[in-house]
Structure 1
Amino acid sequence: MCTMTEVSSLTGRLLVATPALADPNFDRAVVLLLDHDEKGSLGVVLNRPTPVDVTDILEGWGRLAGAPGVVFQGGPVSLDSALGVAVIPGDEGTSPGTRKRTPALRDPVGFRRVHGAIGLVDLEAPPELLAPALGSLRIFAGYSGWGPGQLESELEDGAWYVVESEPGDVSSPDPERLWRAVLRRQRSELAMVATYPDDASLN
């Protein structure tokens, strides 16, 4: 049984789909958890770029979006809504290997810190207010959501690996390779999973 502390501690971490995960929505997905408590979980898939340019749907935000400057599919829920996730450079906010915040500068208007240097952007705010502070920005259509206890159940079933996030994960210039890259940097047997073939029958 998870305590409140254990549940909350997953906010800001990555869920990396295991090769055994059968849901096509999350095949080889890397999900950044933006919120995780006893009421449920919410995150965005970091490695599902779409062909749609940010400039086509959000005026003023396209020039702040990191390459590739396209909208990403954050998950199967509310695909008609947009979410902005950004990184403030030079402000990690947490010490390596800990969950404790280190002293940080005041967050800019329209930015709500989620974990370390990573936070949510208010897309209703004027882009020019945030432009000087943001190092990178990703726009997501939709999100990934789990009800109370649902994610914990999936974790028990071995559907996900839980690993630490890095600010660069949000703005990876090569999102299609992010699944392997995140696994490869782990100092454990997970690094070997990065070599798992796309077609399991080839193994």
Structure 2
Amino acid sequence: MDTLRGRLLVATPAIESGPFTRSVVFLLDHDGDGALGVIVNRPLESDVDDVLPDWANLVNAPVCLFDGGPVAMDSALALGVIAGPKDEQSAPPIGWRQMAGRVGLVDLEGPVPSRGEFTGLRVFAGYAGWGPGQLEDEIDEGAWLVIDARDEDLVSPQPETLWREVLRRLDTDARFLTTFPDDPSAN
């Protein structure tokens, strides 16, 4: 399987419980050693200002931490969407490392970037990880749909609606998953 780095994993109703139910995951890395990503549609109650006060004014609304996944929830990582197109001529912001297109990891221990360097910034507690072949097996079993990511998916001002929004973009019958009830037993 080619790398899925920079794409979205969208949970199907086959994932009935746990941290990935109706999740949208942005894949930061995917190769023969496994995969790593962050859930982009799970805001937490904690404000960024409480944990990283210097960064709070750079984070997009909602200005809170996001549950990035069940691994290392006591650590934080940030994704930033740079303001301009990424090309060889322009220097990236200090502390930004490209993951895909204009999206990259931001070093939270480095200098705080100036306003305007990013069109979007989000801070995640934890991440999602898969061992070698594990994600591919889950995709084959129908647990995940792989969909092209848009920069705005990563910094959506309404992350609670992102799962349905991303599925509605599909031109296949999978878009009808948006009508699947939250609790099928109540149907």
Q: Shorter-chain TM-score category?
A: over 0.9
Aligned partner of 1:122 among 107, 113, 135: 107
Q: Does 1:71 align with 2:65?
A: yes
Q: Does 1:152 align with 2:111?
A: no
Q: Is the 8 A contact 2:94 2:111 kept in 1?
A: no
Find the aligned partners of 1:46 and 1:23 in 2 and give their Cα distance: 17
Flag the 1:163–1:104 CA change in 2: closer, same or farther, 3 A: farther
Flag the 1:201–1:53 CA change in 2: closer, same or farther, 3 A: same
Find the aligned partners of 1:130 and 1:143 in 2 and give their Cα distance: 26
Q: State the identity as a percent.
A: 50
Unaligned runs of 5+ residues in structure 2 are none
Give the equivalent residue in structure 1 for 2:93. 108
CA shift, 1:135, in A, is 1.0
The two structures have a TM-score, normalised by structure 1, of 0.87
The two structures have a TM-score, normalised by structure 2, of 0.94
Find the aligned partners of 1:201 and 1:103 in 2 and give their Cα distance: 53
Find the aligned partners of 1:190 and 1:159 in 2 and give their Cα distance: 12
Aligned residue type for 2:163: W
SS in 2 for 1:31: strand
Instruction: Kindly report the root-mean-square deviation, in angstroms, between the aligned alpha carbons of the 2 structures.
Output: 1.5
Find the aligned partners of 1:80 and 1:195 in 2 and give their Cα distance: 35
Aligned residue type for 1:197: P
Q: Does 1:193 align with 2:177?
A: yes
SS in 2 for 1:21: coil
Q: Does 1:164 align with 2:158?
A: no
Give the equivalent residue in structure 1 for 2:160. 176
Aligned residue type for 1:160: W
Find the aligned partners of 1:31 and 1:105 in 2 and give their Cα distance: 29
Q: Is the 8 A contact 1:46 1:170 kept in 2?
A: yes
Find the aligned partners of 1:51 and 1:23 in 2 and give their Cα distance: 21
Q: Is the 8 A contact 1:109 1:130 kept in 2?
A: no
Aligned partner of 1:41 among 21, 35, 50: 35
Find the aligned partners of 2:30 and 2:175 in 1 and give their Cα distance: 26
Which of the pair is proportionally richer in strand?
Answer: 2
Find the aligned partners of 2:91 and 2:174 in 1 and give their Cα distance: 36
SS in 1 for 2:179: coil
CA shift, 1:192, in A, is 1.6
CA shift, 1:89, in A, is 2.5
Aligned residue type for 1:107: P
Find the aligned partners of 2:132 and 2:114 in 1 and give their Cα distance: 34
